[in-house]
Each structure stands twice: as C-alpha cells, then as structure tokens.
Structure 1
Amino acid sequence: MSVIKKDTSNVSPKKKNIEEDASDANFRTLSILSYFIVLVLLGVPIWWYTTRVYRASLPLDEINSLQLKSKNSSDFGLPLSLDYDILISFIHPDPQTINIQANAREIDHYLQHFLKKISLVTDFIVKSQWLYLTELGAKPRKVMDHFALLENQLPHVITPLETKLWSHVSPRPSIHLVVYFPHCQAPLYIYNSQNQMTSTNTFISPRWGGIYLMNPDKNACKLGSFKADSLLIASTFQEILKELFKVGNLKEFTLNKIEEMLESSKRTLKSLAQLLSEINSIVISDKVADKIKLALESVGKAEKALAMGHGKEALDHAKLAFKNSEEAFGDPSLLALLYFPDDQKYAIYIPLFLPVMIPVIMSLIQIRKQLGSKNADKTKID
C-alpha cells in the first residue's frame, strides 16, 4: 500500500510564520476569554453570593402599619417584664449592739397571697439577703429624740445601696424591698415635703422598689435583741408592690398590662424593622424572622380577642407577642456582621481582584482593537 504525503516543501517560510502567528494569536485570545469568563462571569457572581449577608424575608409593610400610642407618665415605672426577682434585703448597721431576727420565709409566705393574684400576668421569684455594717448614705437631721430623713434626701440613699445589693446577677428585672433597722440610739423616721412624719415610714422609688425603716423598740434595745414582725413587714411590702405595679382593681390591672405589652411589642417591632431596613449588613436568620412573624401575628390576635372581651385569650397572645418581640430584638445573631459593612468588604477584596483583572481587561481591549483592524482591512479588500 502506498502512502501519499503532502508536499510542503514549496510552502514559503514567511507563510509558515504567518500561520503560526495566527495560531498563537487565536490561542492567546481564547486564553484571555477563558480568564475573563472564569474571573468575571463566574468568579464575581460566586464571590458576591458567598459573601452576601443572609436576610430572611420580613413583613415590613405590616409592621410599619402598626399604630402606636403616645407615651405617658405610666410608661416610666417598673420595666415591663414577664417575670421579676423580688429581692428582700435586711440591713443591720449595728450588729454589735443589738441582735435582730427576721424570718424571710414567713415574709415570703405572707407575700404569696398577694403575688398569686397577679401571677397570671407576671411571675415572681423571691430572694433575700442580709447586709451588716451598712449605712443608708444620707445624713439625717436631729429632731428632738429622733432623727429625720427628708424626702429630698431619699434618692441619695439608693445609689450607695445599689453597689451592695446582689440584683445584677440575675437576667430578670429586680424589685428591691429593703428593711433598714436604724441604730437604737438614733431612731430614724421619714419626713415628707410638708415637714411631717410619714405614717408608714417607707420610701418608694418607681423604677427601683421601696425602703421600710423599722426602728427597734426601747425594750428590745435594752435587752439587746429584737424580733421583727414578719406580718407587719409583709403587709408593708404588699402596699409597696401595689404602688409599684399600680394594682387597684385586678381586672383593670390585667387590662392595663395587656395594653402595655401590646404597645411595647409594637414599638419593639417597629424599631427592629427600621434598624434592619437602614443597616444592610445585619443578618436576619430564619429563627429571628420566625419570632418577628409570630410576634406580629400574636399582636393581631391579642387585639382581636381584646375587642371581643376575651381577656384571658388576649393576655396569652399579648405575653407571646411581648416575649417573641423582645427575644428577636435581643438575638445575638443580629450583631454577627454588624461591624463588617459593604464598604469594608470591598476594601478587602478589591486589592485581590484588581491586580488580576487589569491585565485581562487590557488584553480584551487589545483584542478588540485587533479585530477592528482586521475588519477594516477586509472591508478595503472587498
């Protein structure tokens, strides 16, 4: 069998070089195009997708349509919560002179009768502590056989006590109920703004709690031992709690708390929607989105039940709305990428992409010029 070979001996070297140059040019063009496809058409979308912040969908229009009431003075009492710590503190400044006995368990037992009435709205955990060698921090005025603590001095009493009361160890808001046993040689009484001695000898701070000054009697001071009346202390604390929570009629108290919870839930949801709309780098996880949607849904159900007069159902939905709105607003995942906004993302990645992209872009421009010159030459030949 004979093999016919193509005779290339007659092809000129110049023509060979032209063909090789054209082949190399095509190869370079394909290489540049492949780099462009990988870096720009594939790389940039992949980079954008993998570095984007995940944001679950939210019913922002429905949240923004919620109607809020104007704030009033009742909004500045105890912080709204579904559970509180009641911290009963017994303060004995002079344990060397007199032994004082106070039964915290009895006081708790007497208080439970009142706390159970409002436990449908909020829960309470009662704790107690003793503080010794602790003064009130305000200098009383001498009045005949006793000392007077004026009303304008009382705010200065709380600040020194705050550093010694163990309320900061709990995640729940604390209500402070303090019993202070003054020195035997210096009975202490509270005087009001009319310079008259108060009948209860108590002081109430709306966002903090109350202080009860319980003076040991003269006979106990002589004996060096004083047993505090648990029922008297509990009844005094009960009146303080009624004042703090503004408990008159139980039904009115429940309705007021439902309205407060709904109003707080709406404000929290609207604040959260505004925050998430303004800051795009905040992650919105499915968990947070579900809580926001459940809170919004519960607000609607509570308002509907309240309008129909179903107080128990309205309270349950209001508590659910308040709980989920607060948990969504305070979820740690919202802060995951708060300090990594888009401008910082560009500042980090542009130095990586730009040096690689400049040669590719310059090569594409050169290829475009070559193609344009070839088309012009072809037009001239035609």
Structure 2
Amino acid sequence: MSASLRLPTEDGWTEVVLREPRAWPRHPRPHRSRVAFAAAHVVADPLADNSPGAPAVLDWDATLEFRRVLFGYGFGVAEAMDTAQRGMGLDWAAVRELVRRSAEVARDHGARIASGAGTDHRAEVGSTAEVLAAYEEQVGFVESTGSQVIVMASRHLARIARGPEDYREVYGAVLRQVAEPVVLHWLGEAFDPLLAGYWGAADLPAATEVFLDLVREHAAKVDGVKVSLLSAEHERALRAALPAGVRLYTGDDFHYPELIRGDGEHHSDALLGAFSAVAPAASAALTALDEGDLATYDAEMGATLALSRHVFGAPTFHYKTGIAFTAWLSGHQPGFSMVGGMQSARGVPHLARIFALANEARLLPDPELAAHRMRLLLETSGAAS
C-alpha cells in the first residue's frame, strides 16, 4: 500500500503513508494472566438532537456492536463510566438502558461486565443521607441487571462532604449492602476537576490513607480498586498496600504497559478507556503475557502507548472525543458524532495526530476508509490542503 494523506499539524503539514492493515487475532475468551476491562464509549444517534443539554439518544446497534468487538478480543466491558460520557451528556435514562442492554450482550458472549453506579441522577443533594440514597438506587439497579457494580466517585459527595468521616459513612453503608464484591473507582481531578480533594483531603498521601482504611475495613466486599490518578509511582505503592485478594485495576492511560506487566511481586489488572482505542494490539499483548512471552508483550503493548498518551493529553477529560474519533476511523460507527456535541472538544490537528498514530500502530482495519473519512473531516472543517 503506497497511498498517502497530507495532514495538518500545529507547525504545518505532514505526509503520512498509509500502512497495510494487520490481521489481529481474535481472542473470544477472557485473558488468563490479567483481568482486563475496556471502558467503552457510546455511539450517538447522528439523526437525533444530541446537542449540549439535550437528552442522550444513542445508536444502539453501533453501540452494542462495539461491545461485541471488545468481547471478541477477550476484554470485559466497563460500562456507563466516564468513557461513556457519564457527567458529560449521558443522562440516567440512557444509562439504565445502556447497562441493561450491555448486560444482555455480555451474557450472550459469556463475557464479564461491570457497570458504574453513582449519584448523578439526582439534580441536587443536601446531605450525606441523600447521597447514600442516590447510591443505593443506582447500585440496586446495576445489580438487578446481573452486572458487577463499579462504585463511581460522586460529585455531590465531593461538594458537601465535611471531611474523611463523611466518605467513610457513605461508602461504608454502600459496601455493607452490596450483594457481591464491587470495584471502587477513584477518579482524579485530571479526568473530572469537580472531584478535587476526594476522600476529604487535598493532600494525596492523606487521601490515600483514608481510601486504604476504607478498603481494609470492607475488603470482603471489594473485588478491586480502579485508580485514575495518572501516577505510576502512586499506583505501585497503593497496590502493594492493598489487602490480599483486592485487585488494583489500573486507570493510568499513560503508564499501563509497565503497570500491567508488574515488577515481579505485584502487578496491576486493567480497567482502561485506552483499551477501547487499542483493543486488537492490547489483546495481542495480553495473549503473549498469558504465554509468558514478555518480549512480545512489551513490543505489542508499547506500540500502543503513543496513541493513548495523545488521546489522553491535557485537558484529559476530553479524551472521549479521541476514543469516538478512533472508532469512526476504524469503521465501528457511521459518523463522528457524540452525545452533547462533544465531537467539537478537540481541534483538527489533534485529531489528525490520532489518525497518524493509529495508522503507525496498524490499528486501522481499512486504511482507505479511514483516509476517506479523515479527508471528509478536513474538508468540512476548512482544513483541506
């Protein structure tokens, strides 16, 4: 393949030669050596009014088919998380339908699914009791679908909590009631600025101690913790301090290859939005890890890192645009449209760089289709050369 495409950069233009697509092997059963969830995005219905503030309307066929793709590479799906635009356009009515439908697809595939439960369906809360009631409603719904529960961070609790004791009260009550062990999600302010000071402390070591105390007290109800702080050093220290049997699901989209590989004593499992963008290559890496082939693991997973770091570049909370754009380039959705009109959250040079990096990693199943769609974007944005 010798076709090429001129792409804009922040400094001018560059010529990108389209690479031959790679035949990535499918892996229809979960990987053995690590538990790996891909946090999946949602596909907006391009014919609906998905403008800012409007109720979310999804393209259900494309949304669910993308989950089948992820299951086919051996991943579980982390559903209705921030990757699916929780807190950025995906309302509770759409969340309920999404979790219900995705849980059915997971059962059909014998695949694992875990879904976010938070407090975002309440417009306002004024007390920790009301935060708890909101959590109980969402946790109960997720459990009713057969999905594992991911207890998401609460903007409401971050706003009204007076200190660590309020977090202990609310989370302790939730954990005493859950039917099966859950995943606790610590989402850092890089992903959501409204969660600054979570666990009642602005100081990271102090917040970590509050978090660890909670996990230790309720270890029997905690399958694992999902940490999205983008600090490999902090993650290594935290996973070494967790009680036996409690997993650390890395949410570090900048350092996941080394964290999943481990240091010989401890390793991280995975719950990553990045895996939605690099699923074929990440699956190949985990297959090699299952076989003890560390050199192939390092090569396969390492080749995904430049794309992930770019997609999750500052402001990190707009990474969802890159995930949806990659899916569009790859033919997994008919258009580049997002709930809340969020397709406009990244500029053309940023998106062009995504194309170049996905092409370099041979993650574009049909490079000609991807190039055609990239040209359409350049033309409609006024950036065609």
| TM-score scaled by length of structure 1 | 0.28
| TM-score scaled by length of structure 2 | 0.27
